Structure 1
Amino acid sequence: MSNRGSSNHRQSSVSSFRSRFSFTMLSMFACMASLYVAGRLWQDAENRVQLVQELDKRTGQGHSAVSVDETLKIIDCREQQQKLGALQMELEKARQEGFVSNSLAGNGATDGKKKLLAVVGIITTFGRKNNRDAIRKAWMPGGAASKILEEKGIIIRFVVGRSANPGDGLDKDINNENRHQNDFIILDDHVEAAEESTKKVKKFFSHAVEHWNAEFYVKVNDDIYVNIDALGSVLANHLDKPRVYLGCMKSGEVFSQPTQKWYEPEWWKFGDKKSYFRHASGEIYAISQSVAQFISINKSMLRSYAHDDVSAGSWFIGLDVKHVGERKFCCSSWSSGSSLSFSPLLTPQPPRVLVFG
């Protein structure tokens, strides 16, 4: 028994000695490593000092090294300049998109110009010169009368795109007509095509709100007469509403067969597949400035359906926009003479007053 106890005691002593030895060796290695690292850092610092001194001698400058504080100040200054430049860019973008108050925008109400009541865009295309000439004779004043109308708050322009073959006879005809009449908005980034009518309307609203500061923006087809007096009165009645979508409101059947005239390729998106959501008839409708700004800002994301009036109605679903059904914009009122518009354009029925006043 004593021998076994003695053996255990010796084994324990040996293990204890080995542990102490291992700890001592590790401590020595750690100390040597620390001294080595410290020495290298000191040597690097000495080398940098010698290099700076040598540079001073060769350049003749007393102090070429920049302190840490000075370096931090330079970096901070550069960061502040970058932030300031970014803020200036954001402010300019917000100004262009109409999200800056009049006191900051530097245009519209602050540039000495009276805010317009409406910008009216007459959607037209190639081969419709007879319609345009009839409108000019009927309700769209030209020359001095046009200037008077603009001073009173309404601007009227025909809206057209470009030919699929740039510079061809179609483009030249429009350019010549505009040179004589000076009453077009020519969308250089839009190619005229029947299936692109929705994109054309979207680009008109975007262009108009970017170039004119108005209460309302109005889309009109080029085959109707418009009573400018009545139009101005109707719009003025809604100046107190911040977001307005004004027109002859309807729903209508969704046509799902390709052989049908008003076929809608994406008919399956419209709920029960039988009727559209509420939207204004495409002959004539108006939107307020903030709504036009929404279109301008989000034009690349707004969906284009087969028909421009349905598409316009879809853009305002989910928005806090007041849908106003106005009987004077409806076909049913034309025969009674109480409307502000008449269709078709070449009807013998005479137009109303030509100048809003």
Structure 2
Amino acid sequence: MLSKGSNNGLPGMAFPSRISTLMLSMFATFAALYVAGRLWQDAENRVYLVKELDRITGQGKSAISVDDTLKIIACREQQKKLSALEMELVAARQEGFVSEHSQETKRTPKKRPLVVIGILTKFGRKNNRDAIRKAWMATGAALKKMEDQKGVIVRFVIGRSANQGDSLDRGIDNENKQTNDFIILENHVEAPAEFPKKTKLFFAHAASNWDAEFYAKVNDDVYVNIDALGNTLAAHLDKPRVYIGCMKSGEVFSEQSHKWYEPEWWKFGDGKTYLRHASGEMIVISQALAKFILINRSILRTYAHDDVSVGSWFIGLDTKHVDERKFCCSSWSSGAICAGV
């Protein structure tokens, strides 16, 4: 017979036993689900691999390698993940969610400007600038309207005084505050001998700041017919590397006393004739050529004259030279694009 003490211990042992049995059952259930899931996955992969094997062997291949097998399995996993993401995206759209990226892609892309025109000017030439503003450049809201509607951006281009911060610099800064139509080349010192370098810096600056089809350089004593210019440039949009101007050549002067003296005259051969180039009153180049100047500005050589310098940069490139007689600014005529005063 069991003692009284022994009888009291039996109920206490039954409760832990029931907990252990329950946990064991749960563990067995989870394990069964896991094994079943893996078996289903493996079976699905095997079916797919068998199909791939039949397809490959049908094409004359004997078998697929282990690497190919792993790639196939990985591809299947990626396809499942992609399908799940697509389902989540559909659900998000149904709930009214639209990503910021999707909103941006629906916006109308901003139209690229047709041309950026730099009017190279100097100190003491405010009268010329005011005349140009009244004649064809416009100011304020009219200037902005020309940019938005015609795609023509026009700016005066000037450097800094040799004595930076003097009255010349302050005069330009004050004028620019009133008109807001300058490109001020902070690292360029205004000097007659530096004019070719100034032209190079303008093209580089414009290409860096505006994504335009063309870039034009004109002098501050030239009047431009904006509508005629736009029509002419539109005919050359299909040319990726185009250089347009009133093409000319001319004598190279080796005498230091001459007005048009060329210090490096000997580089142009015994004939002393410049290579063919666009006259400096007005030069237009396409975006690719402007980008070329921007990238290579530190090694592009300048000569005594800016028009010769620009022509020298393109002579060795696959460039389309266009001799546009409407860019000859010596006189205003019917259909002309520019005129010098």
Post-superposition offset of 1:258 = 1.1
Instruction: Report the Cα distance in structure 2 between the residues aligned to 1:284 and 1:224, rounded to whole angstroms.
Output: 8
Q: Aligned runs of 1:54-73 on 2, under 5 Å?
A: none
Match in the other structure for 2:24: none
SS in 2 for 1:190: strand
Q: CA separation in 1, counterparts of 2:275 and 2:206?
A: 26
| Structure 2 match to 1:191 | 189
* 1:73-120 C-alpha deviation (Å, 9 max, x unpaired): xxxxxxxxxxxxxxxxxxxxxxxxxxxxxxxxxxxxx99321010000
Q: Distance in 2 between matches of 1:202 and 1:121?
A: 11
1:265-323 per-residue CA deviation (whole Å, 9 max, x = no partner) reads: 11100023421001000000100000000000000000010000000000011100100
Give the structure, 1 or 2, with the largest relative contact order (CA under 8 Å, sep 6 or more): 1
Q: How does 1:290-301 map to 2 (within 5 A)?
A: 290-301=288-299
Write the distance in 2 (CA, Å) between the matches of 1:271 and 1:216: 33
Matched residue, 2:315: 317
Aligned partner of 2:334: which letter? G
Aligned-residue identity in percent: 68
CA distance in 2, matches of 1:120, 1:335: 19
Question: 1:141 Cα shift?
Answer: 1.0
Contact 1:267 1:273 in 2 (8 A): no
Q: Could you tell me which amino acid in structure 1 is paired with residue 262 of structure 2?
A: E
Pairing of 1:1-357 with structure 2 (within 5 A) = 112-152=109-149, 153-331=151-329, 334-344=331-341
Question: Secondary structure of the residue that 1:246 maps to in structure 2?
Answer: strand
Instruction: Measure, in 1, the Cα distance between the counterparts of 2:296 and 2:169.
Output: 29
1:148 to partner: Cα distance: 1.0
Shift in CA distance, 336/149, structure 1 to aligned 2, threshold 3 Å: closer
**How far apart are the structure 2 equivalents of 1:318 and 1:182?**
38
Q: Within 2, Cα distance between the matches of 1:260 and 1:331? A: 24
**Inter-partner Cα distance in structure 1 for 2:288 and 2:218:** 19
Q: Which residue identity is paired with 1:229?
A: D
The runs of 5 or more residues in structure 1 that have no matched partner are: 1-109, 345-357
Q: Which residue of 1 aligns with 2:16?
A: none
How many residues are matched? 234
Q: Residue 255 of structure 2 contacts residue 261 of structure 2 at CA under 8 Å; is this kept in 1?
A: yes
Alpha-carbon distance between aligned partners in 2 of 1:274 and 1:314, rounded to the nearest angstrom: 15
Equivalent residue for 1:23? none
For residues 314 and 283 of structure 1, do their structure 2 counterparts lie closer, same or farther at Cα, with a shift above 3 Å needed? Answer: same
Cα displacement string for residues 3-34 of structure 1 (whole angstroms, at most 9, x for unaligned residues): xxxxxxxxxxxxxxxxxxxxxxxxxxxxxxxx
* 1:217 counterpart SS class: strand
Give SS of 1:262's match.
coil
After TM superposition, give the deviation of residue 130 of structure 1 in Å.
0.4
Displacement of 1:198 after TM fit? 0.8
Unpaired runs of 5+ residues, structure 2, are: 1-106
CA root-mean-square deviation: 1.3
Give the secondary-structure state (helix, strand or coil) at the position aligned to 1:275. Answer: coil
SS in 2 for 1:116: coil
How far apart, in 2, do the equivalents of 1:116 and 1:331 lie?
Answer: 24
Letter of the 1:160 partner, please give it.
I
